[in-house]
Amino acid sequence: MLSRGFPLLSGVDLEVQRATLTVVTGPNGAGKTSLLRLLGGLDPLHSGDGVVAGVDLRDGDRRLLRRRVGWLGHEGSFYADLSVRENLVFAARALERPVGEVDGALSRVGLEHRSHTTTKQLSAGQRRRLGLAWLLVRRPELWLLDEPYASLDDAGREFFDGLLGEVLAGGATVVVSAHDPLRAANLVARTVRMVGGRVSA
Amino acid sequence: MIRVAWLVAVKDLRIEARSRVLLWQVLPFGVIALLLAGLALGPAQAGTSSAGPGLFYLVTLFVTLLMINRSQSLENAPGTRASVATLGLDPAGVFLGKALALTVELWVSGLVLLGGSVLLLHTALTGTLEALPSILVTLATLASAGTLYGALTQGGDGPATLLPVLTLPAFAPLLIAGERSFSAALHGGALWEWWVVVVVALVAYCAVGILLYGVLEES
């Protein structure tokens, strides 16, 4: 994987089992986000081999892979001038899911009272919750969560840990990037440490 | 493809209606540019000059470039690109939807600027109305070409400032054809041959966009 000709990831050897939680840790610039983007088919694989959900990352149709992946980035992931509900309705219609699922997802993440608020008016933590609602509407096979605890308060973290447990019990695979190992007691996670674009442990 | 196109077009137009960038930022700029053009021509020249259609299309070019940048920036907000990519939308539908929304926005701009050219450049009202269909088709063609070039300059790491340089060779024949048909409607002359140029370009840009938009997105 290259950025302006410079390899972002190098010598990464990683196998993730279905319906498990993997936490990728490491300092800033270690390549955590790049690895997650690669796994989601968001960026191309320039050398080496990789298969995610049966799709070859080099020669396969990354668009097919992306439809099976849920991405929660740390920047916020939505159309800022649409309301919370409009963003989710857009996702539901794009995926041909019943629009009725939107209200359930909003109440699940505790944003039902902000459903008509423009997304740019939400706090960072509320945008995180909206990101989770987006994933609940999508119900992907593979959840890729880039520093999901950022901007969440204690209640938000607790809610998020509970949600992760449900997702894993439902058979989805979750890969999380974080600066530190997961602290949640209810989750069994494999931790992978990255440094300088390589898996170190 | 049509379902995705409609979904994307409605989304873009809803964002425009909410943000009012066209209404409060782009259109005032266009009207002021027309006013300056009218002042440059002077009151004696404005009604009789043959420069009216050319000035209209010059201002339309500025407005179009601004609106193309706006249309593409909606998709390039931090994080939005990755999240929307995971929806797996048909790229041909995305192209058609964005081109459709941009067409509607340019039609609104075009109608306001035409009113401005009647008032400020004193172009004849009947000739302007006669030119309206050709202007609407030209604007739709500019929207299709602009959506394609907008994805080219903003889809990857290319700077948005490349847009005017890249689009000008593509836009020039359309602007000339539009100006010629507008002039023909105002002052008399062959109108249909310029129509053909614009309609063929519209079909060509739509076909290329449907085929290549996905490649541009991936790049």
> What pLDDT, in 10s, does the model give residues A50-81?
888 788 888 778 888 888 888 888 766 688 88
Mean pLDDT value of segment A171-189: 75
pLDDT of residue A3: 52
Nearest residue to B86 via CA among A24, A95, A3, A83: A95
pLDDT of residue A1: 53
> Is A40 in CB contact (< 8 Å) with chain B?
yes
Q: Can you tell me whether residue A83 is helix, strand or coil?
A: strand
pLDDT of residue B102: 96
Average pLDDT of chain B is: 86
Q: Which of B15, B76, B86 to mutate: most A Cβ within 10 Å?
A: B86
Round to whole Å and give the CA distance between B21 and A82: 14
Sign of CA dihedral B93, B97, B98, B100: positive
Residue of A63, A67, A75 lying closest to B79 (CB–CB): A75
Give the residues across from A173 on adjacent strands.
Answer: A142
Round to whole Å and give the CA distance between B204 and B198: 10
Give the residues across from A191 on adjacent strands.
Answer: A23
Which phi-psi region, left, alpha or beta, contains residue A24 (left: φ > 0; alpha: ψ -120 to 50)?
beta
Phi, psi of A98 (to 5 degrees): -60, 135
pLDDT digits (tens, 9 = 90+) for A121-152: 888 888 888 888 888 888 888 898 888 777 77
Residues 49-78 of A with CB under 8 A from B: 62-64, 66-67, 69-71, 73-78
Residue B99 has pLDDT above 70, yes or no: yes
Q: How many CB atoms lie within 10 A of CB B166?
A: 14
Hey, where are the domains in chain A?
Answer: 10-68+140-201, 77-139
Q: Can you tell me whether residue A53 is helix, strand or coil?
A: coil
Round to whole Å and give the CA distance between B150 and A83: 26
What percent of chain B has pLDDT above 90? Answer: 41
Residue B37 has pLDDT above 60, yes or no: yes
User: Quick check: B121 and B55 in contact, CB under 8 A?
Assistant: yes
Looking at domain A10-68+140-201, which of 3.40.640.10, 3.40.50.300, 3.40.190.10, 3.30.950.10 is its CATH number? Answer: 3.40.50.300
Residue of A nearest to B21 (CA): A81
Mean pLDDT value of segment A88-108: 86
Q: Which residue has the tokens 């002021």?
A: B32
Nearest residue to A125 via CA among A143, A106, A146, A148: A148
Residue of higher predicted confidence among A181 and A123: A123
What ranges make up the beta strands (E) of chain A?
2-3, 6-7, 21-25, 51-52, 55-56, 69-72, 142-146, 173-178, 189-195, 198-199
Q: How many CB atoms lie within 10 A of CB A63?
A: 18
Contact B83 A134 (CB under 8 A): yes
pLDDT of residue B100: 95
Mean pLDDT value of segment A101-112: 84
Residue of higher predicted confidence among B217 and B10: B10
Mean pLDDT value of segment B120-136: 87
Nearest residue to A177 via CA among A44, A30, A77: A30
Q: Considering only CB atoms, which residues of chain B are within 8 Å of chain A?
A: 4, 7, 11, 14-15, 18-19, 74, 77-80, 82-83, 85-89, 157, 214, 218
Residue B118 has pLDDT above 80, yes or no: yes
Mean pLDDT value of segment A24-39: 82
Residue of B nearest to A68 (CA): B86
pLDDT of residue B64: 94
Residue of B19, B87, B218 lying closest to A95 (CB–CB): B87
What percent of chain B has pLDDT above 70? Answer: 93
The rounded Cα A6 to chain-centroid distance in angstroms is 25
Residue B136 has pLDDT above 90, yes or no: yes
> Is A33 in CB contact (< 8 Å) with chain B?
no
What ipTM does the predicted assembly reach?
0.81
pLDDT of residue A109: 82
